[in-house]
Amino acid sequence: MASNVVTHLILFIAVLGIATGVVVSFKSFSDDAQTSMDARSKAFQDKLKTSFTIEVVHHDDEKNITRIYARNTGEKSHRIEDIGVYINSVRIPQREENMTIKILEDTIKANEGEDIWDKGEKIYVNVQKPLEEGAVHKILLTTPHEGRETKEISV
């Protein structure tokens, strides 16, 4: 009789241990799922807040310079170093001497002295690269959070 009680007690303790392990596992899974959902939600909100417009693109044939003016029309600010520039699907590296991106001083609304492109501000992109005459060229600007705007120009 005593051994029967001891056996039941051991089984009860084992079942409690297994149940505790299952609960802890589900709690960990739930926490991971919540963290993942929060990250995806923030990324989606950032994507919705990202918007900009290429206002003017001009190419100077004599100097082989393409000038691009764009305005941040979204709610999201962007670091200048995160802006991508592509001409005819070829990325123009920012570290090269043949490209500069600057915020137009007369449009600065916040973060003066910093390279942050805020809402309503305009940037000036200057790319020194020869373009084939008589062809249509595709200019693409990108930002994080899947922001992208395309303009086509004829030279």
Mean pLDDT for the chain overall: 85
Length of the chain, in residues = 155
Q: What is the mean pLDDT of residues 104-110?
A: 82
Q: What is the mean pLDDT of residues 18-29?
A: 85
Note if the pTM is more than 0.75: no
DSSP string, 33-78: HHHHHHHHHHHHHHHHH--EEEEEEEEETTTTEEEEEEEE-SS--E
Give the H/E segment covering residue 85. strand 84-87
Tokens for 141?
A: 């600007």
Q: What pLDDT shows up at residue 30?
A: 84
Is the model's pLDDT at 55 over the cut of 90? yes
Q: What pLDDT shows up at residue 1?
A: 62
